[in-house]
Structure 1
Amino acid sequence: MVAGRQSQRGRGVRAKIDRMDGESAVAQIGVADLPAQFGPSAVLLDVREDDEWSRGHAAEAQHIPMGDVPARLDEISRTATLYVVCKLGGRSAKVADFLARSGFEPINVNGGMTAWAEAGRPVVTDDGSPGSI
């Protein structure tokens, strides 16, 4: 279900994404099974909030905060393999469920960016310097 809510940062109305009914039917993947690189054929969609992204993210990730996803669907590739990630995997599972209901075929990243960092995969800031989760 998608319902409007007022952003706490005053950016206007953002959507709230909730799971529809119980268990997810979306595919799941562990960090070890993710591609080594992302690009036009494989997209890592990071749905964390702006402050989380600023602290650190995967260098090749696309960033759309969870609440902005419904309004920004046209920015998400429908032809690439789509991996959805957040900090631990909960928010990304909700977004992946929403995307699946919107005609995408997303794959949720179990363990999120925390598992990414624990696996030794690089975490950077926007200027390319080392980041943190």
Structure 2
Amino acid sequence: MSFSDVPTVSVDRVPALGDDTVLLDVREDDEWQLGHAPGALHIPLADIPARIEEIDPDAEVYVVCRQGGRSLGAVRYLMQIGYEAFQVDGGMVSWQKHGLPLVGEGDEPAKIY
């Protein structure tokens, strides 16, 4: 599977999250704590195989990382095991540039670095 074989959507095309749609954030814990999309599911890339049961197999899964490298690998893996998965183009950097909502875990305003 090449890069061009991975279904990709821009951040402004990610549908509303719900029972049939999951936004999976595969960044590391420190990145997540600084800022993430409200309602996203956080599973660091390396943990996905061990935590796969947390991802609804019937949902469309939109995968995001900081800029796109890690999400590409996650989408490839999820597609190989039968998930309908999409890479979010530009990752959380693009999410922030588009002015989409962010929440953080600390006292500072949420921000993607």
Q: What is the TM-score with the length of structure 1 in the denominator?
A: 0.78
Closer/same/farther in 2, CA of residues 99 and 120 from structure 1, 3 Å limit: same
Secondary structure of the structure 1 residue equivalent to 2:93: helix
Structure number with higher helix proportion: 2
Q: How many residues align?
A: 112
> What is the aligned counterpart of 1:85 among 64, 70, 78?
64
2:65 pairs with 1:65: no
For residue 11 of structure 1, what is the aligned residue in structure 2?
A: none
Greater RCO (Cα-Cα under 8 Å, separation 6 or more): 2
Give distance in 2, aligned partners of 1:79 and 1:109.
Answer: 19
CA-atom RMSD in angstroms = 1.7
Give distance in 2, aligned partners of 1:127 and 1:43.
Answer: 24
Structure 2 residue ranges without an equivalent (≥5): none
For residue 7 of structure 1, what is the aligned residue in structure 2?
A: none
Q: What is the TM-score with the length of structure 2 in the denominator?
A: 0.91
Q: Tell me if structure 2 keeps the 8 A contact 1:45–1:63.
A: yes
For residue 111 of structure 2, what is the aligned residue in structure 1?
A: 132
Q: Which amino acid aligns with 1:107?
A: F
Q: Tell me if structure 2 keeps the 8 A contact 1:42–1:80.
A: yes
For residue 17 of structure 1, what is the aligned residue in structure 2?
A: none
Secondary structure of the structure 2 residue equivalent to 1:124: coil
For residue 75 of structure 2, what is the aligned residue in structure 1?
A: 96
Greater CA radius of gyration, 1 or 2?
Answer: 1
Q: Tell me if structure 2 keeps the 8 A contact 1:59–1:128.
A: no
Secondary structure of the structure 2 residue equivalent to 1:59: coil
1:25-58 CA distance string (max 9 Å, x none): 22100012112x3121211000000000010000
2:82 pairs with 1:117: no
Q: Which runs of 4+ in 1 moved over 4 A?
A: none
